[in-house]
A = this chain, B = another copy of it.
């Protein structure tokens, strides 16, 4: 399917790994890949404002269809100019299909061929989300990239269950394509298949036959082991066409993202940097620390001496720990800025390394620091 307003440009390929350096052209600007998308569930990356996102260098932000459909309602967002107008951020957005949140947040859900019936986690109200409604909502939200409606298959699941679900997701993807009216949004398909290689092969073949502008791997990081996840991603990524962006949904820690880049993935989103920050868990260039730990009580050093973020330039571990224990709301933003900066710096470094053909060394160096003794 051609989309004149959306184009993926492959700029460089690494020598020793499958890592790729690319550029997404969208109606609201360019996105350098590999890219990490911060999660702006309800139209706001938790604790941050738009200036913070610009300072981070965020080019693409994810927003959640399920949340915005339930509150404030997609018609309110449409009336205020879609996500770009509502949030007042004239840069690229991606919306998911709502499927994942129905399975992880809502109650009383029931899957039929038509769609998914569920009860809102906010007020218990009953809803039926179908592929057609998902597209209607996502067209109202107006993101640059929208996702096909799928079932995020839980783990573990039987081959029979996964087969039936994966086949239904393909039928839903076709219905999304049929329902789509706007020509300025790129619809990405989602390859399912759970932990079964034959079903991943089938799903990839059938979904890519639709000639969509991008593809995602869904159903990863849903309870399987890290090794299973990485093995399945490494197996499935080469099933996707080289000339389209590849999005691994919902993954992961910094090392997971770097691992998947080596396997040829281009887009990532994950709540971990933001959610972990709000529980006091900080990523550093050589591991993780929890700021609540008593050892930081009078520690005048920054969270991570190798980090350039505002928080590390300005504040000590002692001050941040104090704010955290005192329940000061300001600290949640300071810690979020740090964790996201670490992701953005890692991805920036990854893009440079790929362009220079030395991603293998870059990846190995980060992995090596993680293995080093903790401070």
Selected from B80, B88, B310, B316, the residue in CB contact (under 8 A) with A80 is: B316
Contact of A205 with B by CB under 8 A:
no
Measured CA separation A329–B319 after assembly (Å): 20
Decide: B47 and A330 in contact? CB cutoff 8 A.
Answer: yes
Measured CA separation A322–B298 after assembly (Å): 40
Interface residues on chain A, size class: 35 or more
Residue of B nearest to A79 (CB): B298
Decide: A330 and B46 in contact? CB cutoff 8 A.
Answer: yes
- Residues facing B in A315-335 (CB within 8 A) are 315-316, 318-319, 321-323, 325-326, 328-334
Contact of A180 with B by CB under 8 A:
no
Contact of A48 with B by CB under 8 A:
yes
Binds B, one of A37-45, A166-174, A343-351, A363-371: A37-45
Contact of A86 with B by CB under 8 A:
yes
Contact of A67 with B by CB under 8 A:
yes
Decide: B318 and A329 in contact? CB cutoff 8 A.
Answer: no
Q: List 8 A-B contacts (CB under 8 A).
A: A43-B322, A44-B330, A44-B331, A46-B328, A46-B329, A49-B334, A86-B322, A88-B315
Asked if A328 meets B44 with Cβ closer than 8 Å, knowing A88-B314, A88-B319, the reply is yes
Contacts A44-B331, A47-B329, A88-B316 supplied; 14 other A-B pairs, CB < 8 Å: A42-B328, A43-B319, A45-B330, A47-B333, A48-B330, A49-B333, A51-B310, A71-B322, A72-B321, A76-B297, A80-B318, A86-B322, A88-B319, A330-B333
Decide: A80 and B298 in contact? CB cutoff 8 A.
Answer: yes
Decide: A318 and B86 in contact? CB cutoff 8 A.
Answer: yes
Measured CA separation A314–B76 after assembly (Å): 18
Contact of A164 with B by CB under 8 A:
no
Q: A71 to chain B: closest CB distance in Å? A: 6
Q: Give A63-93 as 1s and 0s: 1 = Cβ < 8 Å from B's Cβ atoms.
A: 0000100011000100110000011100000
Decide: B318 and A67 in contact? CB cutoff 8 A.
Answer: no
Selected from B49, B326, B328, B333, the residue in CB contact (under 8 A) with A310 is: B49
